[in-house]
Amino acid sequence: MDFRKLVFIGYCIFLSTFAFSQNDSIQEVTQKYDTLYRVNYANKMICKLNIDSDINNLYIRNVKEKSENKFIPNEIFKLRFSFDYRFLGLTVSFSPSFFPGNNDNAVKGNTLILDLGFKFFYSDRLRQEIIYKNVQGYYLVDPDNDTLIEAFPQMKVNTYGGKTFFIVNPNFSYRAYESQTERQMKSVGSFIPSIYYAYNTLETNADNSSKLFIDKIYSYDVIVQAGYMYNLVLDKKWFATAGLHPGIGYNHSKNFYHNNQSSQELEKNSQGININIDANLALGFNNSNFFSGFKANYRNFNYINELNTEFISSRIGFDFFIGYRFKESKPIKKVFQKIEKQLDRLPI
């Protein structure tokens, strides 16, 4: 497993270096689209704070009882910080205990969540996202009414993933919707085909179980979607976005079940197809520097093979964000320019 992680990290470094070498200055960006449609803020340092409910449940098939086990993390909301400047875009998310619904650890156990994201553009319309997610601490519930059955505070899930997509219409600003590093000045839409890929690991660390139960899972997902998004400019400062992304996905899982009564481990491989659809809605305020807004995301995944572990589950999520575009600092600008100068020398 360590080798696969190293391969993923090396792949991310390669993509990052390639993207950095594509010097995305304001002059280069504005030559690629009609400036009446988009305003770019590449010379601004943009900081944003999000509160969102993008937390997945887990659905694992129990091969002995022929039933579905539903696991829920003991967190409802995440706090996410993001920073965008020139070629760099970073996000960090975690789940603070002071949020309502995040602090009933005595009953459901403690959950620790850490998300890291790195996002960039190969070119003005070809975008790359790299993500790492770590969640530790789940509790098993009745799938019919979510009644608590047992807490698993040591249960851990890691996700190493990425997403690549292409924006067909050069006048459509995905940045205005996702990171607010641009403003959409005229209403316009675009087709956005994409491919998502991820490697997931799950370890239950549940040695005290007396029945046949999942021990660990290694899972791969590949999802292809053909989406469409539309930015509606309500007036000079207000905007709305809507998107629909139908697709098809493939999953391959290697599941290991442990029976303490016989001290034997059972390995079960499964693979299957899922039909999926994502939908996005957003409403926001976008001034020259200050911006804020609200997003809603709907995700529906139908797995054809019921033995597959559902790391990506159907859900509705909400996201509130607020941010500010700061004037770039001259010392920081010089540092970034030196880094860009060195990266431009790379033979890629």
Number of domains in the chain: 1
Mean pLDDT, residues 198-222 taken together: 78
In a domain, 348, yes or no: no
So what's the pLDDT on residue 270? 83
Most confident of 11-25, 42-56, 159-173: 159-173
pLDDT at residue 20 greater than cutoff 50: no
So what's the pLDDT on residue 269? 84
In a domain, 133, yes or no: yes
Angle at 164 between CA 163 and CA 168, to 5 degrees: 135
Q: Among 41-50, 127-136, 140-149, 173-182, where is mean pLDDT lowest?
A: 140-149
pLDDT confidence of 82, banded at 50, 70, 90? very high
So what's the pLDDT on residue 321? 96
pLDDT at residue 11 greater than cutoff 80: no
Whole-angstrom distance, CA of residue 325 vs CA of residue 195: 30
pLDDT at residue 107 greater than cutoff 70: no
SS3 177: helix
More confident residue, 345 or 115: 115
Instruction: With CA atoms as reference, report the closest residue to 323 among 87, 19, 50, 11.
Output: 50
pLDDT at residue 210 greater than cutoff 50: no
Q: Which residues, listed in sequence order, are joined to residue 247 by a DSSP beta bridge?
A: 225, 276
pTM attached to this predicted model: 0.81
So what's the pLDDT on residue 18? 46
Residues with Cβ within 8 Å of residue 262, at least 6 apart in sequence: none
Whole-angstrom distance, CA of residue 219 vs CA of residue 310: 10
Backbone angles phi, psi at 340, to 5 degrees: -65, -35
Q: What is the CATH number of the domain that holds 176?
A: 2.40.128
pLDDT at residue 198 greater than cutoff 50: yes
pLDDT confidence of 292, banded at 50, 70, 90? very high
Cβ 48 vs Cβ 82: under 8 Å: yes
Q: To the nearest whole percent, how much of the chain has pLDDT over 90?
A: 36
Instruction: With CA atoms as reference, report the closest residue to 332 among 81, 26, 16, 86.
Output: 86
pLDDT confidence of 64, banded at 50, 70, 90? low
pLDDT at residue 188 greater than cutoff 80: yes
So what's the pLDDT on residue 240? 97
> Which range of residues forms the domain containing residue 8?
2-343
Q: Which H or E element spans position 183?
A: strand 182-184
Q: Which residues, listed in sequence order, are joined to residue 325 by a DSSP beta bridge?
A: 46
Backbone angles phi, psi at 330, to 5 degrees: -60, -45
**Tokens 């029976």 map to which residue?**
259
More confident residue, 217 or 304: 217
More confident residue, 26 or 74: 74
Whole-angstrom distance, CA of residue 116 vs CA of residue 78: 12
Mean pLDDT, residues 286-297 taken together: 93
Whole-angstrom distance, CA of residue 12 vs CA of residue 130: 7
DSSP letter string over 223-251? EEEEEEEEEEE-SSSEEEEEEEEEEEEEE
Whole-angstrom distance, CA of residue 122 vs CA of residue 128: 7
pLDDT confidence of 105, banded at 50, 70, 90? low
So what's the pLDDT on residue 101? 62
pLDDT confidence of 246, banded at 50, 70, 90? very high
In a domain, 44, yes or no: yes
So what's the pLDDT on residue 103? 64
Q: To the nearest whole percent, how much of the chain has pLDDT over 70?
A: 78
More confident residue, 208 or 48: 48
Q: Among 18-27, 314-323, 333-342, where is mean pLDDT lowest?
A: 18-27
Residues with Cβ within 8 Å of residue 106, at least 6 apart in sequence: none
Which 8-state DSSP code applies to residue 250? E
**Tokens 């975690």 map to which residue?**
94
pLDDT confidence of 21, banded at 50, 70, 90? very low
Q: Give, in order, the Cα–Cα distances in Å from 281 to each of 77, 242, 330.
A: 19, 5, 37
Structure tokens at 283: 């409403």
pLDDT at residue 29 greater than cutoff 50: no
Residues with Cβ within 8 Å of residue 344, at least 6 apart in sequence: 21, 23
